[in-house]
Amino acid sequence: MGFILLGFSDIPDLQGLLFGVFLIIYVTILMGNSLIIIITKTEPSLQTPMYFFLGNFSSLEICYVSVTVPRLLVDLCRQTRNISFLACAAQMYFFLVFGAIECLLLTAMAYDRYVAICHPLLYPLLMNRRLCVQLAAGCWVSGIPVHTGFTYQVFFLPFCGSNELNHFFCDVPPVLKLACGDTFMIDILIYVIAVLVVTIPFMLILASYVRIIETILKLTSATGRAKAFSTCSSHLMVVSLFFGSGLITYLRPNSSHSIGMDKFLSLFYTSVTPILNPMIYCLRNKDVMVALGRFLQKSFML
């Protein structure tokens, strides 16, 4: 009727420490991304397509991390860590959907930077408000139908052995390890979806940045080159962190999967990357830092 999430039960002496660490991480993610959402909505200087997508990205990060970390915090405080079949399926579904949305949204952000740097004169015309809303809406909706069918296929498999899930949330690889039916079709689906949702967007982002770098190197002004690089470097760092850990996790051969490595990689892209994103976008972006300073100044004066 359900599973038992073992999580980090193999290190019982560190449960309290882990709870404190993950609570700090979760609160920091919520606060950092909430601040970005607020300033991109309220600051007049940030009413551009770049920051429109950044606000969407921060909203997504809050949703993404809220699928796994609150459940982990609860499990670290109790002895019984049962999760029902339906709850496990729901957690996997929303985790996959938000992960797919993140891939697509990062691609839309790369396209925005490509148009801004490679076609600056056409930028206001091409990246108008209507297109930005359509791109963002398309990103938010696209992952829903694909992962609905995939999650159904995973949980339609027979589970007749152990119900101990050696992970801290219902991710695909550990759940498939408990299935006693033939998982060949699911493995094929994983690779197909990974190519469609992860590999193709990643290649489009790389292609965009090849063109962006070519255009930047042609600029005669050193100041212009530095400014162009600074607006793209933050996004490129986030792309590298997210796609790198995701590709390693889902496109590795099953024979190379290990429990310890799976948990480490999952922690990286469910907790570490979301906490780094607000820092990367704020600390490396002068406009965001100035807007954030004004917002905090106004807040403390009230």
Q: What does 11-31 look like in DSSP terms, one character per residue?
A: -GGGHHHHHHHHHHHHHHHHH
* Total length of the chain: 302
Percentage of the chain beyond pLDDT 70 is 92
Extract the residue ranges of the chain whose pLDDT is less than 70: 224, 227-228, 231, 249-260, 283-284, 301-302
Helix, coil or strand: residue 162: coil
Helical H segments across the chain, by residue range: 15-42, 49-66, 69-76, 85-118, 123-126, 129-155, 172-178, 184-194, 200-217, 222-250, 259-267, 273-283, 286-301
pLDDT value at residue 254? 59
pLDDT value at residue 287? 77
pLDDT value at residue 257? 57
The angle that helices 184-194 and 129-155 make with each other, rounded to 10 degrees, is 170
Set out the domains of the chain in order of their start, with CATH numbers: 2-301 (1.20.1070.10)
CA 249 vs CA 47, 69, 199, 256, 259: distances in Å: 36, 19, 13, 10, 11
Which amino acid, residue 11? I
pLDDT value at residue 283? 64
